Structure 1
């Protein structure tokens, strides 16, 4: 049910974020304890501030009240996905080239299931991630189809 609700809300919020020159990162509808939460994560190249979140929240609240796609009571939260945002689409991964990433795979690949380093390149089929092993750099070529999850990472 939560995937269906998320999909419906995504269709409603997408025109709002586009109108405000923002990017829709993810819509999540989740039960925590006895409460339901509808979370909308937005971003932009310049970052997201409180005014952006407030504008999306107000416009989305009006649309949700009008269309009423959710029968349960819920709390609406609109926020930035944070510095270590998930990269959900191939376009997100493309934008992350040159940045720090953390990727996990469904099964071990080259002896590992997780890779943290600089995303050197992405050609839609393979990620090239440069990691550090002690004092040397190791280049890992990971097929995109084997990636379970990938997010930005703040490397120290």
Structure 2
């Protein structure tokens, strides 16, 4: 699939990045008026369908509710219809990030300091890819997690995903 496949993949990725960036910019402006936090936005293809997902939260007891998501979705949908910049057909979803939210942005790491996390590495470290412990420190590039065996320091680049641990 050589260069043609790679070029197609880069075009798709840059379109997706543009969709996400424009949507995030709108939601950041809307968040001031409606008092919510934009946690993440993604444009992904799953099972042959494109999805534009906005994950939002609120700093209130119980977090964001269904009525809040409906209101955000209505404003976002109206804006997307007006601007009409997404070429592909897609499904719009607005929801909370959930209990086991992924940590992606610097503000996520800072907000969740002191909480339990689970992380998976792209490449095993001494035969281990999965770690869990307390998110102890974050300096913008390095993440320190206090594990059973002591502190482990990871760079953002080596982490495939990191999320809050859910205890049932």
Deviation at 1:71, TM superposition (A): 2.4
Q: Determine the C-alpha separation between the residues in 2 that align with 1:90 and 1:34.
A: 32
Q: Aligned residue pairs: how many?
A: 152
Alignment of 1:19-34 (within 5 A): 19-34=33-48
Partner secondary structure for residue 82 of structure 1: coil
Q: Partner of 1:149 in structure 2?
A: 161
TM-score by length of 2: 0.78
Q: Which runs of 5+ in 1 are unaligned?
A: none
The structure with more helix, counted as a fraction of residues = 2
Q: Partner of 1:119 in structure 2?
A: 135
Q: Determine the C-alpha separation between the residues in 2 that align with 1:88 and 1:58.
A: 26
Pick the aligned partner of 2:115 from 96, 99, 103. Answer: 99
Q: Which runs of 5+ in 2 are unaligned?
A: 1-11
Pick the aligned partner of 1:87 from 103, 106, 112. Answer: 103
Deviation at 1:123, TM superposition (A): 2.8
Q: Determine the C-alpha separation between the residues in 2 that align with 1:31 and 1:144.
A: 24
Q: Partner of 1:42 in structure 2?
A: 56
Deviations 1:61-87 (A, max 9, x none): 111111111123322110011001111
Deviation at 1:52, TM superposition (A): 1.3
The structure with more strand, counted as a fraction of residues = 1
Q: Partner of 2:71 in structure 1?
A: 55
Indicate conservation of the 8 Å contact 1:100/1:155, yes or no.
no
